[in-house]
Amino acid sequence: MLVLVAPGQGAQTPGFLTPWLDLPGVEDRLREWSAAIDLDLVHYGTKADADEIRDTAVAQPLLVASALVSARQLFATGEDFSRQVGAAAGHSVGELAAAALTGALSDATAMSLVRRRGLAMADAAATTETGMAALLGGEEAVVLPHLEQLGLTAANVNGAGQIVAAGTAEQIAALVENKPEGTRRVVPLKVAGAFHTHHMSPAVSALEAAVTELPVADPHTVYVSNKDGKTVGSGQELVQRLVGQVANPVRWDKCMETFKELGVTALIEAAPGGTLVGLAKRALPGVATLALKTPDDLDAARTLIAEHASPEQGAPEA
């Protein structure tokens, strides 16, 4: 049983799209999306520096575009995807890529929505200087009360001993100086705001208005939601979860628990892959994993698909 996942903000690095442009049709597709959303994805994915692609309004469309173009090399059509993939999910903004890959949104609609999402969250982040930091190691029973004491939110509960805290710059600095007992490291993330917290409430309102007339379909493949790790069979519910998730914690730990319950045997992470594969290696022992970093990884991914895909996969739950 194969799961396809899409990474979230912070996975981007300068030039990470460059090798993908060598594949037939990729640059044309990126330029088409760029014109539609008024953002030069080719420039930002190949020539922009780390500070430029740290901008939320840039990073989010860039990551969704990357996940889509890389996954489409493996699954050219929705029928291919639903036949070979048992379930899909995305981490934070990666949920929009997963929504497109499972057929709930078209690629063009997902790119339009992620552009609005990025701009709305960038505006919300500009109100107060905020940020996020990953805590590596430590027990939830110790870490969560410590964060609460500092006024921070556990914005991502990623499982495998990783929690991401979010709050004001001062609160993040206090966490770096005073990490919870048992935590090995506190690593500030390359993001521009306290995502998935109350600081993003203005963005929720903006997205609620943006999705009122959005063309939506029910997903053709099991979609696993960040909200609680539940599978979602309704396109309308899926979109509403995407909107609300902007200001609520990402429960990736629950998503991985659901993968396990579904019987996952292999997991592929779309480009720029690596982060979610790392979590899966620790939380899902025995599951074969592969991160799509460059087109050089495609042949290995096709082999993994051939070994783990099943004709019975793909029917979403109601």
Active-site residue, selected from the candidate residues 34, 70, 146, 196: 196
Global pTM reads 0.93
Burial of 318 (0-12, 13-18, 19+ CB in 10 A): exposed
Instruction: Return mean pLDDT, the chain.
Output: 94
Mean pLDDT over 113-123 rounds to 96
285 contact partners, CB below 8 Å, separation of at least 6 = none
Tens of pLDDT, residues 74-100: 998 889 999 999 999 999 999 999 999
198 is catalytic: no
Alpha-carbon distance 34 to 287, whole Å? 36
Tens of pLDDT, residues 40-86: 999 999 999 999 999 999 999 999 999 999 999 999 888 999 999 99
Active-site residue, selected from the candidate residues 92, 112, 225, 308: 92
Alpha-carbon distance 207 to 291, whole Å? 30
Output the six-digit token pair for 216. Answer: 């939506």
Q: With the C-alpha atoms ordered 272, 278, 283, 286, is the resulting torsion angle positive or negative?
A: positive
Burial 41-58 (b: 16+ CB within 10 A, else e): bbebbbebeeeebbbbbb
Alpha-carbon distance 170 to 175, whole Å? 9
196 is catalytic: yes
Q: From residue 189, how far is each of 87, 130, 218, 240 by CA, in Å?
A: 28, 11, 34, 27
Alpha-carbon distance 57 to 122, whole Å? 6
- Provide the pLDDT confidence category of residue 315 given band limits of 50, 70 and 90: very low
> For residue 202, how many other CB atoms are within 10 A of its CB?
16
